[in-house]
């Protein structure tokens, strides 16, 4: 007779305390979903303001440690310092994206309540992914984020460019999810566990590594897809170009923090004992991303596509930190990811401010002579470009310096040299934007930049913050280092 036994898992309400920020965000998202049914277009701003307020509150709860840290749900959910920092950052960046999105989408009749709800549920997916302690939670958070992102890209359903971008994003995203899931299944088959801590212990004590290495290779391919690292970057330029600019801003900022957490949880927390093998794969992906991203970005005339390929190169810099390994390498990669998200938000924010109804300011020609039309906006874009290029004393310089130092300490001097050469190449296309703004004549018939005060204040804080954080970057770096202390 077949006998089955069930093990009771003790559960109490205190197990929900570390999940408090996620529970508040989920409850608020469902409440806004219901509330929006009774709000007409004239009062739609209420939905947006409540969504922004909710994200700010959840960010504060994460940064302040409300609910406390711990491992709950039988090890499926891990709330630690890294999770608090990345969750708070993801919520703030999502709120910033909504601030940028409101005037842009309202002009085009796309200011629907579902945009806010989709952003909230995408952020919830990021938070679950960032705090994942199990392969099941990793996949749950990843798919929640991905499905909401596909819908956001296609929000302008009458635009064939946006629809095409959403379809490419969906098909290639599904492929990457399949690769990741297949890799996870191989690891489960080799170890018999879905828990990341138990998986690491099983890998450490296993003498047979062929199945483990095969699963790790497939997982790294899936991670590279989600990051947009070369040669798995084919979805990035089309998605960045086709999606409405505020949606591009959202996709290119907050989810990148979750992507870093995905890589750390799976590679270090899961298969950390195999780091000698996977660090080499990450180094090769970093090289490909740096070279391909920078070289193709040189040839772009469309600013959104240029920023898309530059995003590929920046992922290469993040991979430098991961390849360096160790607490310093992971802290440097995390610091770079946070810095890049802030810089990317400023760059796309400047495009949004310059755009108008029926006018997408997404080419280099649109920025010609911008200093003559709006010195303030040209100055904000200059801050974003200088920081992305890694020019001191902007934030991007310290981020690049941190990952280069980490990869040198990790014994990969050749990779650091590749990074330095590619950083110099990248300066060219960023400085080209500055050149057309300050030295070219403005084209005729170009609309004046948007005068929306909240939007301009947001861009001002975002861009000037790159200078301020460049001068006072140590607290952020110390916070990142604290996340990886044993």
DSSP, residue by residue, 330-386: HHHHHHHHHHHHHHHHHHHHHHHHH-BTTB---BGGGGTTHHHH-HHHHHHHHHHHH
pLDDT (tens digit, 0 to 9) for every residue of the chain, 486 residues total? 334 334 445 556 677 899 999 999 999 999 999 998 888 887 889 999 999 999 999 999 999 999 999 999 888 999 999 999 999 999 999 999 999 999 999 888 888 889 999 999 999 999 999 999 999 999 999 999 999 999 999 998 888 899 999 999 999 999 999 999 999 999 999 999 999 999 999 998 877 788 999 999 999 999 999 999 999 999 999 999 999 999 999 999 999 999 999 999 999 999 989 988 999 999 999 999 999 999 999 999 999 999 999 999 999 999 999 999 889 999 999 999 999 999 999 999 999 999 877 678 888 988 999 999 899 999 999 999 999 999 999 999 999 999 999 999 999 999 999 999 999 999 999 999 999 999 988 887 777 777 778 889 999 999 999 999 999 999 999 999 999 986
Q: Contact at 8 Å (CB) between 135 and 209?
A: no
- Tell me how far apart the alpha carbons of residues 140 and 184 are, in angstroms, rounded to a whole number: 13
Which element (helix H / strand E) includes 415?
helix 413-439
pLDDT recorded at residue 443: 81
- Residue 9: strand, helix, or coil: coil
Supply angle C-alpha 250, 253, 258, rounded to 5.
Answer: 110
Which has the closest alpha carbon to 389: 440, 357, 343?
343
The residues, ordered by sequence, that sit 6+ positions from 33 with a Cβ below 8 Å of its Cβ are 113, 117
Which element (helix H / strand E) includes 137?
helix 135-153
Which element (helix H / strand E) includes 264?
none
Q: Is the peptide bond before 161 cis (omega within 30 degrees of 0)?
A: no
pLDDT recorded at residue 11: 59
pLDDT recorded at residue 4: 38
To 10 degrees, what angle do helices 235-242 and 160-191 make?
A: 140
Report how far apart, in Å, the C-alpha atoms of 260 and of each of 42, 111, 130, 170, 296 are: 39, 30, 8, 21, 24
Q: Contact at 8 Å (CB) between 240 and 307?
A: yes
pTM of the model: 0.94
pLDDT recorded at residue 15: 74
- Tell me how far apart the alpha carbons of residues 379 and 437 are, in angstroms, rounded to a whole number: 9
Q: Contact at 8 Å (CB) between 168 and 148?
A: no
Partners of 71 in the beta sheet?
78
- Tell me how far apart the alpha carbons of residues 103 and 452 are, in angstroms, rounded to a whole number: 8
Which has the closest alpha carbon to 86: 320, 334, 392, 268?
334
Which has the closest alpha carbon to 481: 316, 333, 280?
333
- Tell me how far apart the alpha carbons of residues 198 and 91 are, in angstroms, rounded to a whole number: 30
pLDDT recorded at residue 255: 95
Residue ranges of the alpha helices (H) in 243-325? 245-251, 254-263, 275-297, 303-324
Residue 439, Cβ density class (10 Å: 0-12 exposed, 13-18 middle, ≥19 buried): exposed
pLDDT recorded at residue 10: 57
Hey, where are the domains in the chain? 276-486
Q: Contact at 8 Å (CB) between 403 and 332?
A: yes
Partners of 72 in the beta sheet?
77
Q: How many CA atoms lie within 13 A of 310 on its CB side?
A: 32
pLDDT recorded at residue 5: 39
pLDDT recorded at residue 323: 93
């Amino acid at each position: 007779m077949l006998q089955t036994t069930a093990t009771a898992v003790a559960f109490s309400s205190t197990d929900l305390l570390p999940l408090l920020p996620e529970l508040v965000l989920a409850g608020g998202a469902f409440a806004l979903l219901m509330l929006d049914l009774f709000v007409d277009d004239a009062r739609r701003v209420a939905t947006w303001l409540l969504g922004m307020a909710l994200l700010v509150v959840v960010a504060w709860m994460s940064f302040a440690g409300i609910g406390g840290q711990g491992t709950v749900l039988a090890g499926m959910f891990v709330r630690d310092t890294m999770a608090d920092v990345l969750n708070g950052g993801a919520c703030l960046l999502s709120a910033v994206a909504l601030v940028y999105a409101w005037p842009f989408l309202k002009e085009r009749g796309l200011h629907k309540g579902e945009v806010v709800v989709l952003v909230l549920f995408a952020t919830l997916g990021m938070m679950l992914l960032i705090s994942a302690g199990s392969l099941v939670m990793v996949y749950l958070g990843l798919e929640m984020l991905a499905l909401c992102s596909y819908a956001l890209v296609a929000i302008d359903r009458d635009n064939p460019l946006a629809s095409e971008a959403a379809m490419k994003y969906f098909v290639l995203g599904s492929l990457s999810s399949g690769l990741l899931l297949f890799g996870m299944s191989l690891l489960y088959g080799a170890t018999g566990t879905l828990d990341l801590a138990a998986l690491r212990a099983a890998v450490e004590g296993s003498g047979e590594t062929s199945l483990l290495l095969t699963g790790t290779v497939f997982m790294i391919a899936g991670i590279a897809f989600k990051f947009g690292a070369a040669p798995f970057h084919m979805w990035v330029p089309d998605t960045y170009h086709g999606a409405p600019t505020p949606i591009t801003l959202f996709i290119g900022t907050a989810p990148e923090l979750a992507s870093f957490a995905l890589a750390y949880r799976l590679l270090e927390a899961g298969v950390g004992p195999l780091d000698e093998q996977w660090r080499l794969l990450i180094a090769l992906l970093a090289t490909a991303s740096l070279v391909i991203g920078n070289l193709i970005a040189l040839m772009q005339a469309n600013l959104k596509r240029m920023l898309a390929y530059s995003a590929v190169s920046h992922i290469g810099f993040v991979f430098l930190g991961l390849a360096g390994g160790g607490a310093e390498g992971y802290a440097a990669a995390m610091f770079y990811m946070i810095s890049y998200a802030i810089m990317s938000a400023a760059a796309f924010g400047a495009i949004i401010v310059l755009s108008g109804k029926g006018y997408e300011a997404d080419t280099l020609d649109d920025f010609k002579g911008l200093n003559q039309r709006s010195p303030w906006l040209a100055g904000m874009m200059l801050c974003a470009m200088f920081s992305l290029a890694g020019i001191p004393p902007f934030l991007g310089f310290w981020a690049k310096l941190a990952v280069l130092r980490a990869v040198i300490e990790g014994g990969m001097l050749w990779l650091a040299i590749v990074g330095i050469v590619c950083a110099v190449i990248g300066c060219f296309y960023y400085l080209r934007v500055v050149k057309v703004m300050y030295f070219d004549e403005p084209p005729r018939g170009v609309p004046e930049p948007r005068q929306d005060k909240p939007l301009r204040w947001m861009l001002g804080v975002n861009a000037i913050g790159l200078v301020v954080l460049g001068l006072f970057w140590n607290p952020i770096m110390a916070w990142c280092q604290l996340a990886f202390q044993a």
